[in-house]
Amino acid sequence: MYYTPCVMKIFIQKTAFLFAFLTFSFLSYSQCEILNRISPDGSMMYYIEPLNFYWTKTKALSGGIVTDKESYFLELFPTPFPEKPAGHELKDNLEMKLSDGKTYTLEHFDTRYIRKDTVMKLVYLIGKKDLDLLLGFEVTEVKINMKGDEGFRTYVFKLHKSALKEQLDCFLKEEEKKEK
């Protein structure tokens, strides 16, 4: 069977498009890739790559779920952030609004500067009762008290609203697999 060059060109284009689509689809579902690192206190921490939740020219927020296999934490990376030592004053709890319309509080756990002080990480403890809430509802906004003149900074989640829910689900499913 002989195909004209035009038909072959269309076939190759469609095949390339299909290949690119399948590759992108596969990569977009790599949300459940659990990585690990050793924390400064020597314990092993498990995490999923942080995602952007909010981004404008003036401010941004990224973060994700982290666990030490005993407790779960929410790590947030706000931008801009105060320089040392002012940033260490940020010890207020996090106000988090979920898709059920209610506001919940996560307890502040730690504030750290990482990557040679170019990134500030705020860590909040996710309590047992908060696990069920985060598994059931998407996060719609968070409020961080940045202290000083700025006060509360509100981040309305524009991107990846269900990411925290999906990350927690991923960690819990991974634990179930290991228990079997």
CA 176 to chain centre: 22
> Does the structure show a pLDDT above 50 at 24?
no
Q: Model confidence at 1, in pLDDT bands (50, 70, 90)? A: low
Q: Model confidence at 11, in pLDDT bands (50, 70, 90)? A: low
pLDDT digits (tens, 9 = 90+) for 92-117: 999 999 999 999 999 999 999 988 78
CATH code of the region 35-179? 2.60.40
> Does the structure show a pLDDT above 90 at 20?
no
pLDDT digits (tens, 9 = 90+) for 48-84: 999 999 999 999 999 999 999 999 999 999 999 888 8
